[in-house]
């Protein structure tokens, strides 16, 4: 069944479309990598999907109805991880995760939070303030959400940034486990994924305006 369908969809920035309109179908149980050169609008596309950007044309269909009209339902199945993951430096790892699951209207037991942090290799840092952590560890605090939440659709913008090799392969395993359980992943990364059956959503930058000017 079609979970998400992009229909002639493109994002605009200062009166220019960023990429040629895309038509794309995303089914439950798939991993889709958004590919395209820097500045092609990968991040903008993901932000737009999550309701964080409004300048777009075309439509996206969520379970066959326009997604903005059912945004509340859509948001209830969404886990979004952006460039700035929203980890507070003056809170501990566990406090950050508890807040996150709380505002997602999930109720996370302390045990589950500790498990999630252990999964990303932070079991020693549960009660450490995030300002005492490295960039990679901060990123791991954000990634622990993938283990603490039940959301079926994951939208991940550059999830591998600042993560070490072992961490990357564990994250890839988690993505595969998620889709094996019927979940869906939409991600951007410049790394080659060691995962089979990754679908590509290619964004072609729109150069029309530039050509006209030159």
Binding site for another protein (CB under 8 A): 50-54, 72, 75-76, 78, 80, 82-91, 95, 98-107, 129
Closest distance of CB 162 from another protein, Å: 15
Run of H or E residues at 17: strand 16-17
User: Whole-angstrom distance between the N-terminal and C-terminal Cα of the chain?
Assistant: 45
Output 105 or 197, the one with its CB closest to another protein.
105
Least separation, in Å, of the C-beta of 80 and another protein?
A: 5
* Closer of 134 and 193 to another protein (Cβ): 134
Instruction: Report the nearest approach of another protein to the CB of residue 89 (Å).
Output: 8
Closest approach, Cβ 28 to another protein, in A, equals 20
**Across the chain, where does the E strand assignment appear?**
2-13, 16-17, 22-27, 31-35, 56-62, 65-66, 78-81, 153-157, 184-188, 198-202
Instruction: Indicate the residue among 138 and 179 with the shorter CB distance to another protein.
Output: 138
Q: How far is CA 208 from CA 18, 204, 212, in A?
A: 10, 11, 6
CB-nearer residue toward another protein: 76 or 191: 76
* CA Rg value for the chain: 18
């Amino acid at each position: 069944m079609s979970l998400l369908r992009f229909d002639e969809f493109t994002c605009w920035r200062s009166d220019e479309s960023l990429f040629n309109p895309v038509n794309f179908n995303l089914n439950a149980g798939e991993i889709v990598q958004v590919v395209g050169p820097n500045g092609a609008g990968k991040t903008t596309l993901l932000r737009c999907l999550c309701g964080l950007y409004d300048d777009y044309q075309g439509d996206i269909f969520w379970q066959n109805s326009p997604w903005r009209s059912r945004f509340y339902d859509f948001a209830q199945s969404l886990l979004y991880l952006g460039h700035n993951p929203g980890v507070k430096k003056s809170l501990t790892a566990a406090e950050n995760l508890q807040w996150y699951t709380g505002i997602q209207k999930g109720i996370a037991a302390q045990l589950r939070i500790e498990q999630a942090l252990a999964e990303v290799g932070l079991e020693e840092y549960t009660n450490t303030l995030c300002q005492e952590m490295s960039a990679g560890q901060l990123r791991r605090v954000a990634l622990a959400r993938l283990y603490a939440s039940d959301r079926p659709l994951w939208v991940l913008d550059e999830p591998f940034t600042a993560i070490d090799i072992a961490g990357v392969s564990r994250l890839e395993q988690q993505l595969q486990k998620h889709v094996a359980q019927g979940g869906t992943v939409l991600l951007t990364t410049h790394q080659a994924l060691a995962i089979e059956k990754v679908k590509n959503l290619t964004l072609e930058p729109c150069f029309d305006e530039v050509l006209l000017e030159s």
